Amino acid sequence: MTDGQLAHVPVLLEETLAALNIRPEGVYVDATFGRGGHSRAILGRLGPQGRLLAMDRDPRAVAEGERIRDGRFSIVHAHFSRLRATVAAAGLNEVDGVLLDIGVSSPQIDEPERGFSFRFDAPLDMRMDTSQGQTAAEWLNTATEEEIAHVIREYGEERFAKSVARAIVAARAEAPIERTAQLARIAASAVRTRERGQDPATRTFQAVRIHINRELEELAQALPQGVEVLRAGGRLAVISFHSLEDRMVKRFMRAEAKGEELPPEIPMPAHAIKAGRLRLVGRAIRASETEVARNPRARSAVLRVAERTAEAACSG
Give, in degrees to the nearest 5, the angle at Cα 118 between 113 and 122: 30
* Residue 37 annotated as part of some ligand binding site: yes
Alpha helix (H) residue ranges in 175-213: 180-190, 202-212
* Residue 77 annotated as part of some ligand binding site: no
At a CB cut-off of 8 Å and minimum separation 6, what does 249 contact?
102, 219, 223, 238, 240, 304
Alpha helix (H) residue ranges in the chain: 3-7, 13-20, 37-45, 59-65, 83-89, 106-110, 136-140, 145-156, 161-174, 180-190, 202-212, 215-228, 243-258, 289-294, 310-315
Determine phi and psi for 52, rounding to 5 degrees.
-130, 120
**Best CA proximity match to 172, nearest among 186, 152, 159:** 186
Orientation angle between helical segments 13-20 and 37-45, nearest 10 degrees: 50
Q: How many CA atoms lie within 13 A of 118 on its CB side?
A: 19
- Burial code (b: 16+ CB inside 10 Å, e: under 16) for 267-277 equals eeeeeeeebbb
Please report which helix (H) or strand (E) contains residue 237, including its range. strand 230-240
* Residue 36 annotated as part of some ligand binding site: yes
* Residue 80 annotated as part of some ligand binding site: yes
Return binding residues for S-adenosyl-L-methionine. 36-38, 56, 80, 101, 108
Return binding residues. 36-38, 56, 80, 101, 108
